[in-house]
Structure 1
Amino acid sequence: MTDDKVKRRLTTVLCADVYGYSRLMEADETGTLETLRRYRTAIARLVERHDGRIVNTWGDAVIAEFASVVEAVQCAVEIQQEISSQDSDPPQASPMRFRIGINLGDVMVDGSDIYGDGVNIASRLQELAEPGGVVISSSVYDQVHNKLSVGFDCLGQQPMKNIAPQTSYRVTLGGRTAGRGSVPSAESPTFPEKRRAPRISDRHAPSSWTHVVSDSLAKLPRPIAAALTVSAFLILINVFSGMHRIWFHWPVAAILFGALLRTALRQRPESNSKGER
């Protein structure tokens, strides 16, 4: 065994980067640098508050790591809130905005620095975030989706440079991207139940059911899909007109029988024609 063996650990990596930094520097170098220093001070304070540590601050980027996944996401949202609240008055034409990516993964440790895919994925997720927003990996989502009073919009598998596609989630609050409202922990006793932000399953339930039903109908033969739609309307009419007299079963049965018969007759000539060929 040698002393130079690579050390590894599982950690939560937060990567923050200024959106359009080169453009901001070109417009106002002095003002941009002063703003960056002010925001970095705020970021360092929030990272320390959530038991994290700053790993690196090269260029306009900030890399931090956290032992707790929940603390990392809370810190990211509070960073965006803090930066938004520090906007100048009157607001600048091009305010400085950070994009943040968070990943839970294995990293290589070299002194106080960390390397590897765990860091690279966090950096790529940051590139997917909107200015003032936060994007997390699926490994982070699995740990925090039922522990924080925020919403999560699934972005699906996004292509990443030199990295296999990763499923990612946008952090939201009340239909808005994170960074535009307060996000206390769902377990916090000071957080009233009536102000709890809806989770993604609550906020998107109607649209999700609509998509599921429409997709299911689209896979069925057209006569059956039409019959099911008409049958559903008849059932609703019967329900709302009063269930003391149930009458929908007879017309629904006739409609469905006709649709099945029509589908069978349409498929039969098609199968015969295929056999002739």
Structure 2
Amino acid sequence: MTATQPEAQWPVYRRAARTVVVVDVVESVRLIEQNEEDTVRRWQAFVGEVVTQLLPQHGGRLVKSLGDGLMVEFAAVPSAIQCAIAMQSTIAKANQSRRRDECLYLRIGAHVADVIVDELDIYGSGVNLAARLTTLAGPGEIVVSAEVRDALTDGLDAEIEDLGDCYLKHVQQPVRVYRVGEPGDASVLGSAADPEALLPTVAVIPFRARVDDAEHAVLGDVLADEVIGGLSQSPHLHVISRLSTSAFRDRAASLPDISRPLGVRYVLSGSYHLVGAKVRLSIELADANTQRTLWAATLGALTNDVLAGDDPMVPQIVAEVGSAIVARELHRGATSPLPTLESCTLLMGATALMHRASFREFDRARQMLEHLADRHRRQPQAHAWLGKWHVLRVVQGWTLDKTRETQLAQASVQRALDADASCGLALAIGGLIQAYLKKDLAEARRHYEAALACNPNESLAWLFTSTLHSYQGEGALAGAAAQRALRLSPLDPLKYFFDSLAATAVLSSGDYEHAIELAQRSLKANRTHTSTYRSLAIAQVLGGHVDEARETVNALVKLEPELTVQGFIDRYPGQVSTQVQAYAQALRMAGLPA
């Protein structure tokens, strides 16, 4: 290079988390050979609409056009999947007037990863994986990685189907993949004749930070959780769980967009900002049906006082919101959150990880909860969730020592109750241990009744109560309790677990078709939950679908090859009920070995 020659200027690059979406045209070579000019013209029209309309609407960037495909990238997973669904919808409309052999079909793959980004391109193994995922998609399909699926809410962002572990070219280990599609009607409520449906229902959306501050981003969740805890003390309200309302964190959603999937009429939302040691919260309560604001306030407090439960701000919100909804003062109830933001962040992260299908992430949740429990020995939350962790370990089949896990679960719940004897979560999990691990249904009932006396809106207590009724042959009560649980937590990250147990409850009421629907919905989200297959097979036989039941049992024994009818009877908590023999006979008819 001479002194007069300018030095080459290379694009500046950086690392960033990006959702990479790869779009490929199915049988592009055949289409070009069939009618080159027409195919190119239609593809150019589609790319033009993507670039000028879809990408700006969803915050995406075109990385490259590949002749018969595209690569685009997004900062947020939900936006990426919404854009991918819109692409499939756009091409489907363009195909409406075409013969089948002329249609342009797309297959799309998506993965989120830390990649290298510059102004011209993106690089890294995550980009390669997104391209590999595309090969698993059929015409008109979208296939995504587990990392993408974990950032989506089933039924809200997309309809999600678990495809299991799949092998990809040049990828040594199998990859868990999911097929996603356009979300349908997310109605979660039961019959309008249900007397519980007459109670007003409220959702508290995590409060939004006015300034992007990662260090204090969790404060909005903590404040919302405190309000949920206070409102849940009222037997006159349905309060949607935080695990469901957190799906709307940082979303620009309208009131109808929130109320429809959650099945609520009233929505409490707002924003906060920090000024030194103080937090200032602006909130409003709205009627989603009329889209009118019913109550609004701007309140301030010392952040540490709010976290310690020593400031009247949260009880004031609870009282005024309750008065606006039911025209009477709510019973005030204080909660005891972990006293620091750092601990709250750990708790929220652990409860999310323990709901995932990966054992590595599941075990990471245990480490986080044990760390929290040791740091805050007089707070019940970490101990209660540890109890549930041990139960889930048995449920998932990740232990060979059920007796030890039972002892550890009971010890964790007891520590939670020693810290707070009225902790509804701990009481509900204590009942689960009695019913599922010890098969003491009378003691389980006492735990669930105590949990609901402390918190009438504890969704897990209602869910576990539904299975208790089913074990005792009380079908109508089981179905009613299951509907209450589903209504209180319609978007729970463990939704497949709610649907699975609800199927068990509905099965005992004799509504076999509804039980089949719930079980199939559960399996669509998680194809490795063996108890769901058992409930589905029984419902199919009793509903007259014996051939389908045999297929279900074939899938079940692949996951649990040692299972027998006698093993089912030994495991079933309702061994003294009249229905256990009917269920056992149904499994025999479906082909399960005796």
Same fold (TM over 0.5): yes
Query: Deviations 1:41-98 (Å, cap 9, x if unpaired)?
Result: 1222201211111000022110111111110011100111111112242544330011
Residue 153 of structure 2 aligns with which residue? Answer: 145
Q: Which amino acid aligns with 1:168?
A: V
Residue 64 of structure 1 aligns with which residue? Answer: 72
Match runs of 1:1-277 below 5 Å = 7-44=14-51, 45-146=53-154, 148-164=156-172, 165-173=174-182, 187-191=253-257, 193=260, 201=496, 205-207=518-520, 208=523, 209-212=531-534, 215=556, 219-220=562-563, 223=566, 225=568, 235-236=578-579
Matched residue pairs, number?
227
Residue range with higher mean Cα deviation, 213-222 or 68-77: 213-222
Contact 1:18 1:60 in 2 (8 A): yes
Deviation at 1:37, TM superposition (A): 0.5
Q: Which amino acid aligns with 2:177?
A: S
Query: Deviations 1:208-267 (Å, cap 9, x if unpaired)?
Result: 4442465488634565557889x97962399xxxxxxxxxxxxxxxxxxxxxxxx9xxxx
Counterpart of 2:255 in 1: which secondary structure? coil
Q: Taking structure 1 as reference, are residues 57 and 228 closer, same or farther at Cα in structure 2, changes over 3 Å only?
A: closer
Q: Taking structure 1 as reference, are residues 219 and 110 closer, same or farther at Cα in structure 2, changes over 3 Å only?
A: same
Contact 2:109 2:133 in 1 (8 A): yes
Residue 484 of structure 2 aligns with which residue? Answer: none
Q: Which amino acid aligns with 1:144?
A: L
Q: Which amino acid aligns with 1:189?
A: L
Aligned mates of 2:105, 2:564 — CA distance in 1:
50
Aligned mates of 2:141, 2:181 — CA distance in 1:
8
Aligned mates of 1:228, 1:111 — CA distance in 2:
59
Residue 248 of structure 1 aligns with which residue? Answer: none
Residue 247 of structure 1 aligns with which residue? Answer: none
Q: Which amino acid aligns with 1:130?
A: G
Identity %: 30
Query: Deviations 1:186-220 (Å, cap 9, x if unpaired)?
Result: 94434472799x98835974144442465488634
Q: Taking structure 1 as reference, are residues 129 and 68 closer, same or farther at Cα in structure 2, changes over 3 Å only?
A: same
Residue range with higher mean Cα deviation, 11-20 or 186-195: 186-195
Structure 1 unaligned residues grouped into runs of 5+: 176-184, 239-262, 264-277
Counterpart of 1:99 in 2: which secondary structure? strand
Q: Return the structure number with greater strand share.
A: 1
Q: Taking structure 1 as reference, are residues 84 and 228 closer, same or farther at Cα in structure 2, changes over 3 Å only?
A: same
Q: Structure 1-normalised TM-score?
A: 0.68
Counterpart of 2:20 in 1: which secondary structure? strand
Query: Deviations 1:103-140 (Å, cap 9, x if unpaired)?
Result: 10011234421111111111111111111111111111
Counterpart of 2:139 in 1: which secondary structure? coil
Q: Return the structure number with greater helix share.
A: 2
Aligned mates of 1:97, 1:52 — CA distance in 2:
21
Counterpart of 1:154 in 2: which secondary structure? strand
RCO higher in structure (CA 8 A, sep ≥6)? 1
Pairwise CA RMSD: 3.8
Q: Taking structure 1 as reference, are residues 107 and 194 closer, same or farther at Cα in structure 2, changes over 3 Å only?
A: closer
Aligned mates of 2:159, 2:71 — CA distance in 1:
24
